[in-house]
Amino acid sequence: MVARLKEDSIRGKTLKLFYADINGGKPVLVDQSHVGTINEYDWSPDARWIAYAKTNENQFPQVLLYSLDQKKSFPLGNGMTPDYGPAFDPTGKYLFFLSDRNFTTPSFSDFERSFSYNNTTGIYVVTLAADTASPLAPESDEEKGAAAKETPKPGAEGSKPGGEPGEAKGTEPEKARSGKRTAKDSGKERRSQADQG
């Protein structure tokens, strides 16, 4: 993978992160931490970005994106939660990372009056372009295509196109408009006349 990208990331005890062209280019400084080593990073599929986690002065790691074109880093989030383990998806449209920010179910100590939070780590994803749809966006439950045409809507059973709302097929008003008479209609008419006579 490194050979395909024509790049190589190196890190040392100086707490710096570099990249270098493997064809003899000079190392380029990406970033430097003053707290710990930068040992979590990932190349974007197009080899134009490096995502990495850098520990800040507050001891929380923060995910940043470094642009090889612009030679600068862009922070992801505000650095107030531990974010780490960045990884691009194969298309380069999304960046996944881990974060310790779930504080929903605290437990209490039997001996101390303090909160204890467990299972705070979650998997998160961000889109890397404004026009990229979120993979977690709510989906519409409306049917599309042929299924929508075949399925009648609730309360619309018997309604027909062009007819009046709620008018069912085969009702007397429809027959009167059409001017068609059936043998069944004639039989009803004869019975009605016999009852009157």
Q: Could you tell me the CATH number of the domain that includes residue 117?
A: 2.120.10.30
Amino acid type, 65: L
Both tokens assigned to 68? 């090889």
pLDDT in tens, 25-66: 888 999 999 888 899 999 999 999 999 999 999 999 999 999
Element (H, E) at 195: helix 183-196
55 neighbors 63 (Cβ within 8 angstroms): no
The reported pLDDT for the residue numbered 166 is 47
pLDDT in tens, 135-160: 888 888 888 776 656 656 666 555 44
Distances (CA, A) of 130 to 43, 90, 94, 109, 136: 20, 18, 11, 45, 15
76 domain residue, yes or no: yes
8 domain residue, yes or no: yes
41: domain range?
A: 2-127
Count: domains in the chain: 1
26 domain residue, yes or no: yes
Nearest to 84 by CA among 43, 117, 51: 51
Distances (CA, A) of 176 to 110, 166, 170, 173: 83, 17, 10, 5
170 domain residue, yes or no: no
Rounded to whole angstroms, the Cα distance separating 190 from 181 reads 13
70 domain residue, yes or no: yes
163 domain residue, yes or no: no
168 secondary structure, DSSP code: B
Strands (E) in the chain, as ranges, are: 7-11, 16-21, 28-32, 40-43, 49-55, 61-67, 72-76, 83-88, 94-100, 106-108, 115-117, 121-127
182 domain residue, yes or no: no
The reported pLDDT for the residue numbered 114 is 79
pLDDT band for position 7 (cuts 50, 70, 90): very low
The backbone torsions φ and ψ at residue 85, rounded to the nearest 5 degrees and listed phi first, read 65, 45
| pTM of structure | 0.63
The reported pLDDT for the residue numbered 4 is 30
168 domain residue, yes or no: no
The reported pLDDT for the residue numbered 15 is 87
The reported pLDDT for the residue numbered 118 is 80
Rounded to whole angstroms, the Cα distance separating 62 from 55 reads 6
103 secondary structure, DSSP code: -
pLDDT in tens, 72-130: 999 998 999 999 999 999 999 999 999 999 888 778 777 777 777 788 899 999 999 98
